[in-house]
Amino acid sequence: MIAGLFPAAFITLRLIFFSMANGIKVNKWADLDPESKKLIKKAEEALQHAYAPYSKFRVATAILLDNDLIVTGTNQENAAYPDGMCAERVALFTKASQYPDRYIKKLVVVAKAENARELSPASCCGSCRQVMLEFEHRQSKPYEVIMQSQKGEWVTAPAAELLLPFGFSKRNLGG
């Protein structure tokens, strides 16, 4: 009954409870660890390499590997919209082709709208979350995902799987 009277508030409360129960945290910049801050700065530096002439919305990802190497990727748009590629997948596929034996420790996503002074809130799309889940399964080890919220805070998920709770995997294929 309460959910029917206040649907938006009820959904928000459910999301907050889900997040807290699964270890997803919301942090101020000052509360992030130095490693996460460095990774966010590397992603921010990579924004200049994004190709976003259509959306005017640049996105960059920085991935910290287990040997402390950082791999970056940026969104690459195309006039035929479905043929572009999100920053997360560019970075993940680069990691797979150049460092196939390394493990991912953390993945950061940042974005900036054209002419904006500050970073813009950004959340991984469903396709990227699916690919992130596959990479987590491939390495049989979770990795932290960090992105900026609508309020300018930093959302930290201890595992990519938490961002796609009903993801598709080889188990769905009988494997």
Q: Classify residue 105: in a domain, yes or no.
A: yes
pLDDT reported for residue 14: 46
pLDDT digits (tens, 9 = 90+) for 20-54: 567 999 999 999 999 999 999 999 999 999 999 99
> Rounded CA gap, 81 and 78, in Å?
5
pLDDT of residue 170: 87
Q: Is 42 part of a structural domain of the chain?
A: yes
Q: List the domain range (segments joined by +) for residue 97.
A: 25-173
Per residue in 91-125, pLDDT (tens digit) is 999 999 999 999 999 999 999 999 999 999 999 99
Look at residue 91 and tell me if it is in a domain.
Answer: yes
Comparison of pLDDT for 5 and 43, the residue scoring more: 43
Half-sphere exposure in the Cβ direction for 26 (13 Å, CA): 13
Q: 22: which 2 tokens?
A: 């699964």
Residue 91 is part of a domain; what is its CATH number? 3.40.140.10
Note whether residue 14 is domain-resident. no
Query: Is there a domain that residue 43 lies in?
Result: yes
Q: What is the pLDDT of residue 21?
A: 63
Residue 15 in this model has a pLDDT that exceeds 60: no
Nearest alpha-carbon partner for 90 in 56, 123, 40, 127: 127
Residue 159 lies in a domain: yes
Total number of domains in the chain: 1
Residues involved in catalysis: 88
* Distance (Å, whole) CA 103 – CA 141: 8
Cα 122 to Cα 4: distance, rounded to the nearest angstrom: 30
Q: Is residue 6 part of a domain?
A: no
pLDDT given for residue 112 in this prediction: 98
Specify if 4 maps to a domain. Answer: no
- For the chain, give the mean pLDDT: 90
